[in-house]
Chain A
Amino acid sequence: MNRLKADKSAFVPTKTGKKRHRLSRALICLSYFLVLFPLLILFVWSFTGRWSWPHLLPETFSARALGELFGGYSGAVQVLLSSILLSTAVALIAIAVSVPAARAIVLTAFWGKDFLKFIVLLPVIVPATAFAMGVHMLFIRVGLSDTVVGVILIHIILCLPYTVRIMSEVTAATGDRLEAQARVLGASPKKTLISITFPLAMPGIISAFCMAFIVSFSQYFVTLLIGGGTVTTYAMFMFPYIQSGDRTIAAAYSLLFVLSTLLVFIVLERRIKKYYNIEDVFFFS
């Protein structure tokens, strides 16, 4: 039976092709829907007063979330901007650490390599609260508690498991043969770095940046514990509302959270594409 079917389809390839085409389009539409529909709900909730069962649409609308976010008194917008700055700094430093670390892990052999790989993953393995309290005790001792540097450091530590992992995969995929080739052909180490190493690593760097940015941008507990009052972040404003169940305010905060993250990613990608003059690689736009 199966064979017969297979034979039949072999004779009419276009029809199956069309079917496949339709299927893939349906899948694409479905994934768009799965991503965009929750965002749409967040958008509607941001302006909802009352929306009780069984109403399909909100019964009343309210602008109180707009007042909270943009009314000026809560300071949400300033905090959003400073949080973006903080998380960008964290992501950049995390990458600056991860790229050489990943190269060392993948391309060289050294004593204790497996142990190092394991250590890097620890922040995601150890329960977050226990980990944060341990780091807090240590930071108090070395004078990093209640400082911006301390907050940046703890965020970086939490980002490293992801960024090192991503950069290791990318480094393993590209290897160092092209670099060797460039050196053989007479390129200086600097030239090799700029013309070969960075462009090859760039897709990985962008993924790692995004991951690190998101990890840092959504930290709440450690920022409060390590930073004290010196650093207030957007997540610190947002989480109490999510926890207390104020859906209108929480939805508005979350929506702005998602949109500003997306904006950062798009700006980053545009800049990098422009710098490297690449058009055929698509990350976000």
Chain B
Amino acid sequence: MKLKRVAALLLALILGFTLFISGCGRNAAPPQNQKGFDAVVSAAKGTTVNFYSWGGDEKINKWIDTVLAKNVKDNYGITLKRIPMDDTQTAITKLMDEKQSGVDKGSIDMLWVNGENFYTAKENGLFYGPFTAELPNFQKYIDQDSDDIKYDFGVTVDGMEAPYAKAQFVFINDSSVTPETPKNAQELLEYAKKYKGKVTYPAPPDFTGSVFVRQIIYDVVGYDKVNAAGTDKEKIKAAIQPAMDYLKELKPYLWKEGKTYPASSGQLDNMFADGEVVMDMNYDPNTVAAMIDKGTVKDTARDFIFDKGMIGNTSFLAIPANAPNKEGAMAVINAILTPELQASKYDPSNWGALPVLDNNKLSDSEKQLFDKIPLGKGVIPQSTLLSKRQPELPASVVPIIEEIWQSEIPNK
């Protein structure tokens, strides 16, 4: 009897709680901002902007805390507060929870995001916008027809996020250790045979390991063929089979005979710094300069790329639909799109991120800001990188390729 009563009580409690939860949810539509940008700036004055940003790089953090924060304080009277994350997904989780509970005033004003996280956020209506058309500097300096601005991992941006920095995948090795720089997948295989056990890549779904697999697919199969396969797993699998065969052929020459892989890009960077492997790779071409600058690798380390080109992406800044200070975030994003800040961000002694502005839209004095910045040690010039730039695959295809890699490569 007693047990039954307890069970009934529990059930009633659970039911009640569920009803309570589902009853509370309501959808907050993003308010349309009709005000001109001057009104945005005056509303933003004296406010604080909470900027959720990946916090794993000392230089990037320092640039935000010193250069960017000072700039927006001086120009707009805004206090920029950086909230460090180890994974942008945490912020997306938070926004999803808030959306489900109908919170129309959250705590995130501005978010550094791209790829799958943007795809999830856009699908679920987590972001505010479109807002980029309202930013004067977006109108003035950005080539709005370029694919790098229009698409984020194959997803149309539609003004829901503003470009922050460009990145491009590169390989890294040390000329004093290995003079060769493989120019295609075939040469990479020869390289791995020569330096047996000293080449590897991070295991997907690590961001860098995942782009390495796509880079191999591009080189062996070609971007057009994979992209034409759509989002069907079987079709993708058939299309990328030659690349999977290549990775199987490569496997026995890898570190630990390819039976295990570094779990993260950071681990591979450390293995390269320690001399445990002879080759590193990164989605940021300036990483090598940063590593030389930090002193973790010798100054003979340098980038190298495949002849056919390397995958590039753009990372963006978005404003959540429930951001408490949308005006402040817009003002900060507008500031980030100035030639001064893009040039300062491009400076390898600050960060070294590739700028997102259209060179043709810059005045001569603005162009000089970029021209006078020295190229980071070991880094391939921006013009060479951009001429060899390949687009990313759609964000929904990326996890499918990761799955195929997982089932085809490590355990076979």
B97/A140 in contact, CB under 8 A: yes
B78 to chain A, nearest CB (A): 14
Segment of A27-35, A178-186, A223-231 in the binding face: A223-231
A249/B66 in contact, CB under 8 A: no
Minimal Cβ-Cβ distance residue in A for B53: A240
B83/A229 in contact, CB under 8 A: yes
| B 51-77 contacts with A by CB, 8 A | 52, 54-58, 61-62, 65-66
**Residue A127 at the B interface, CB < 8 A?**
no
Choose one: B61, B270, B297; the contact of A247 (CB below 8 Å).
B270
A91 to chain B, nearest CB (A): 24
Segment of A45-53, A194-202, A277-285 in the binding face: A45-53
| A 124-167 contacts with B by CB, 8 A | 133, 136-137, 140-141, 145-146
A137/B83 in contact, CB under 8 A: no
A225 to chain B, nearest CB (A): 5
**Residue A73 at the B interface, CB < 8 A?**
yes
Taking CB atoms, residues of chain B closer than 8 Å to A237 are: 55, 84
B274/A62 in contact, CB under 8 A: no
Choose one: B50, B94, B109, B296; the contact of A136 (CB below 8 Å).
B94
Q: Give bound CA distance, A108 to B58, whole Å.
A: 54
Choose one: B86, B101, B298; the contact of A140 (CB below 8 Å).
B101
Taking CB atoms, residues of chain A closer than 8 Å to B66 are: 73
Which of A237, A243, A244, A247 neighbours the largest number of chain B CB atoms within 10 Å of its CB?
A: A244
**Residue A265 at the B interface, CB < 8 A?**
no
Known contacts A73-B65, A140-B98, A141-B24: A228-B55 contact under CB 8 Å: no
Q: Give bound CA distance, A228 to B20, whole Å.
A: 24
Taking CB atoms, residues of chain A closer than 8 Å to B98 are: 140, 145
Q: Give bound CA distance, A221 to B24, whole Å.
A: 25
Q: Give bound CA distance, A136 to B95, whole Å.
A: 11
B84/A240 in contact, CB under 8 A: yes
Q: Give bound CA distance, A243 to B269, whole Å.
A: 12
Minimal Cβ-Cβ distance residue in A for B21: A137
B83/A245 in contact, CB under 8 A: no
A52/B273 in contact, CB under 8 A: yes
Choose one: A145, A221, A225, A229; the contact of B81 (CB below 8 Å).
A229
Taking CB atoms, residues of chain A closer than 8 Å to B245 are: none
B85/A73 in contact, CB under 8 A: no
Choose one: A51, A236, A240; the contact of B54 (CB below 8 Å).
A240
Known contacts A53-B274, A228-B50: A241-B58 contact under CB 8 Å: yes
Q: Give bound CA distance, A249 to B271, whole Å.
A: 17
Taking CB atoms, residues of chain B closer than 8 Å to A239 are: 86
Taking CB atoms, residues of chain B closer than 8 Å to A88 are: none
The 6 A-B residue pairs with the shortest CB-CB distance in the complex, in nearest-first order: A245-B266, A244-B56, A228-B107, A49-B295, A229-B50, A240-B55
What are 8 A-B pairs at a CB distance below 8 A? Answer: A73-B62, A73-B65, A74-B65, A133-B97, A137-B101, A141-B101, A145-B103, A241-B56
Q: Which residues of A contact B (CB under 8 A)?
A: 49-53, 60, 62, 64, 68, 73-75, 133, 136-137, 140-141, 145-146, 220-221, 224-225, 228-230, 232, 236-237, 239-249
Q: Which residues of B contact A (CB under 8 A)?
A: 20-21, 24, 50, 52, 54-58, 61-62, 65-66, 81, 83-87, 90, 93-94, 97-98, 100-101, 103, 106-109, 264-267, 269-270, 273-276, 294-298
